[in-house]
Amino acid sequence: MEGLLDAPLRDVLTRTGGIDRCVSEFIRVTGTLLPERAFRRVMPELDHGGRTWAGVPVRGQLLGSDPACLADNAARLAEMGSPGVDLNFGCPARVVNRHGGGAALLQEPELLERIVAAVRRAVPAHVPVTAKMRLGFHDDLDAEVCAQAIEAGGASELVVHGRTKAHGYRPPAYWERIADVRQAVRIPVVANGEVWTVADARQCIADSGCDALMLGRGMVADPGLALAVRAELGWLPGGLPTPGSPSGADWATLQPLLHVYWALVAPRVVPRHRPGRLKQWLNFLRRRHPQAELAYQAVRTLDDPRHIERWLHEHVPLPAESDMPEAPTPAVCGDNADLAEPTR
C-alpha cells in the first residue's frame, strides 16, 4: 500500500502485536538491476535482518512485468537478507497498469507463470517466493486460472484480494470467490480485503475457507485488530490455539506510538510533508477511536513540523525511552512519494 504502509508505520503497527509477517511497499522494477540503496529506501528493515523493531519479518515486494529483470532484482533482494520475495499482481493504480504491472498482469496468465518461475529459479531454495493477486482485471472469470499459473511457477503462498481491478477499493470484497480460488490450488491461500473488524474477520474466514488473513487498511485504522482477532477466534495462522491472547490496543496504549511514528517519519520525509503523514494516520485511526477524532481536529490545520512537535509534547504521553527509535541516517523520500494514494 504505497504511501501508507511504509517502514515507519510497519514499525509502529508491529509493536502492537499479533502480526506474523509483513510485506514492504512495492519496489518498482522497470528494466534495470536496482542499486542496494533503492531497496533500503523502501525496506530499511534490510539493515536489521529483514525485521521490524518488534522482530516481525518483512518480505520485500517487487512490482514489474519483465521476468528476467524481476529475477535479477529478486536475487539481489535475497542476497541483502530479505526473509522472502513477494510479487505484486494486485496493484490497481492506472500508472502501474498502463505499464503492464500489478493487476494488469492478470490478463496474461502465461506471463504470470513465467515471472514466478524466473524469480523462483533466481533465489535460494530456502527463500520463500509468494504473490498477491486480485480476482482479475475487468472481471473475475480467470481468477482460478491466474492462481494456478502462479502456483505452477513455484510460488509457495498466494494472497488473494477479494476484488478485481475494476472494483478498486469499493465494498464489498467477494470473499466467497477467494474460496473458489483456494479450491483450485494446493498452495496456502491467504484472504485479504475489507476486513475492518473482528466480525469482518470471522465472516471472511467463514466465506473464504482460509485460515490466515492479510490485514491492510483495517490494521491502520485499528492497530489492535490482529490481537483482537486472535483473542476472539483463538487461532494463529495455521489453526494453532492462542489461549489468553490480549484483546487489542486501546487509545492509552496507542497514544505514545504517535511519538514513535513521528520520530521515524522525520528522517524519511521532506519537512513540509511530515505533518501530512501524521494526519493521514490519524484520519484512519478516528474510524475506530473517538479520541483520534479530537487529535485529528487539533492538528488538521497545522502545517509546520515544529507546531506538530509542540502539540505532541503538550498533549500526547511520551513512550518509554527504550521504545523511542535511534536517530537513523536521513534518507528523505522525494516529493512524489510522500502523500501517494494507497495502490495495493
Q: Give catalytic residues, as residue numbers.
A: 91
In whole angstroms, what is the distance from residue 265 CA to residue 283 CA?
A: 16
Count Cβ atoms below 10 Å from residue 185 Cβ, excluding itself: 18
DSSP single-letter state for residue 213: E
C-alpha cell at 239: 489453526
In whole angstroms, what is the distance from residue 91 CA to residue 27 CA?
A: 12
In whole angstroms, what is the distance from residue 341 CA to residue 344 CA?
A: 9
In whole angstroms, what is the distance from residue 14 CA to residue 248 CA?
A: 12
Amino acid at 80: M
Burial class, 268, CB count within 10 angstroms (exposed 0-12 / middle 13-18 / buried 19+): buried
The sheet carrying 58-63 orders its strands as: 22-28, 58-63, 85-89, 129-134, 157-161, 189-192, 213-214
In whole angstroms, what is the distance from residue 217 CA to residue 232 CA?
A: 20
Do the strands 157-161 and 129-134 form a parallel or antiparallel pair, or are they unpaired? parallel
In whole angstroms, what is the distance from residue 344 CA to residue 337 CA?
A: 14
